[in-house]
Amino acid sequence: MRAILLFIFSIISLTLFSNNSVDTTANAKVPDSIKYWKTQFNSGIHFNQVSFANWAKGGESSLSGRATMKIKANYKKNNFNFQNDLKFLYGIMGTKEMKLQKTDDQIYLRSSVDHKAFKKWFYSIAFDIKTQFSNGYKYPNDSTILSRFFAPAYFTLSAGLDYKPSEHFSFLFSPASGKLTFVMDQELANKGAFGVTPAVIDDSTGTVLVEGKNQKAEFGMNLVVKFEKELIKNIKAESTLNLYNNYLDENMPNRWNIDVDWESNITFSVNEHISTELYLHMIYDHDIKIPIYEAIDGEDVQVGAGPRLQLNQSFGVGLSFKF
């Protein structure tokens, strides 16, 4: 919890700093090494609140919040581009009857180097990493851990061609892309979480004979589609679609499966510092097994596990700052 509060405090501090910063280069000559850089900082805290009092139809009061920080640093000179994106995201929710639980948790870094090939096409090498801040639990049971920092973590290195017809749209096609999945929690690795090879266990004694692997390597094709534009005044849309196909899956039928990671948000700006945001994140990964439940005698009982479409959606109003 201290880490969460520190993260939120850092965002507030940075947003206040950005709001009171002064441009000291307005009347000074910008060195050549700096003028090719374009940097951007965005942060925000959005809230959702529902309250009931003597409500005959029933309902439970709740409060949720979501903090974001996005930093971009892009270098462009002639036919050479160097782009960097860093994003932190954390969300929590609480009710009277339930302890605080997280709803969003993401650390994301992406860097790419591009050089013009012909017309709107660029040779590109891209690297990205995704993980999370804190533990994820099987709510409402907060004693069963489902994920941790670097459990999982995803590293992807892609080489290919990037099509950029405008500054608002890009399409990366990488026929040669390596992906590493790390699960640096041995208990989760032994269960085979997030697609790693599970432990070998003696059925009679429950003893672990061979520890589960902490990483999984893949090699395949990666497609990344990015869109970012102000649709009309004060309404901005951002969307990133990431598709990955593993050529070398040990299970031959799985080689036809495509991992999907699609993240979108639309920001409606009321004024310079107040905005509402619609956020949608969809994930499908055939290697991630989601518990399947059925109602038996009035109770939800787990009857299996399998791949499912994961969906995370939120809509909130709050403060936002950028410079």
> For residues 264-273, b (16+ Cβ closer than 10 Å) or e, as one string?
bbbbebeeee
The backbone torsions φ and ψ at residue 10, rounded to the nearest 5 degrees and listed phi first, read -65, -40
User: What phi and psi, each to the nearest 5 degrees, are found at residue 33?
Assistant: -70, -15
Question: What residue segments make up the domains of the chain, in order of their start?
Answer: 2-16+35-322
Cα–Cα dist 68/10, whole Å: 11
Structural tokens at position 68: 């974001």
Q: Could you report the per-residue pLDDT of 224-254, keeping only the tens digit for each?
A: 999 999 999 999 999 999 999 999 888 888 8
Rg (CA), the chain: 22
- CATH architecture of residue range(s) 2-16+35-322: Beta Barrel (2.40)
Partners of 310 in the β-ladder: 283
Tokens of 48: 């959702």
CA dihedral angle for residue 242, residue 245, residue 246, residue 252, rounded to 10 degrees: 150
Tokens representing 221 are 């094709």
Q: What digits encode the pLDDT tens for the residues 267-317?
A: 999 888 888 989 999 999 988 888 888 888 778 788 888 889 999 988 888
Alpha-carbon distance of 66 to 43, in angstroms, equals: 11
Residue with tokens 């096409």: 121
Q: Kindly give the parts of the chain with pLDDT less than 50.
A: 1-9, 11-27
pLDDT at 9: 47
Q: To the nearest 10°, the Cα dihedral for 226, 229, 231, 236? A: 100
What is the per-residue burial (b if ≥16 Cβ within 10 Å, else e) of 38-57? eeebbbbbbebeeeeeeeee
Question: Closest Cα partner for 43 from 86, 5, 93?
Answer: 86
Using DSSP bridges, classify how beta strands 235-246 and 62-77 pair: parallel, antiparallel or unpaired: unpaired
**83 strand-pairing partners:** 74, 112
pLDDT value at residue 300:
78
**Burial 103-136, CB ≥16 within 10 A → b, else e:** ebbbbbebebebeeeeeebbebebebbbbbbbeb
Whats the size of the chain, residue-wise?
323
Structure tokens at 23: 């441009």
Pairing of strands 101-118, 215-232: unpaired
Q: Cα angle at 55 between 49 and 61, to 5 degrees?
A: 25
State residue 46's pLDDT score.
Answer: 87
How far does Cα 310 stand from its chain's mean position?
Answer: 13
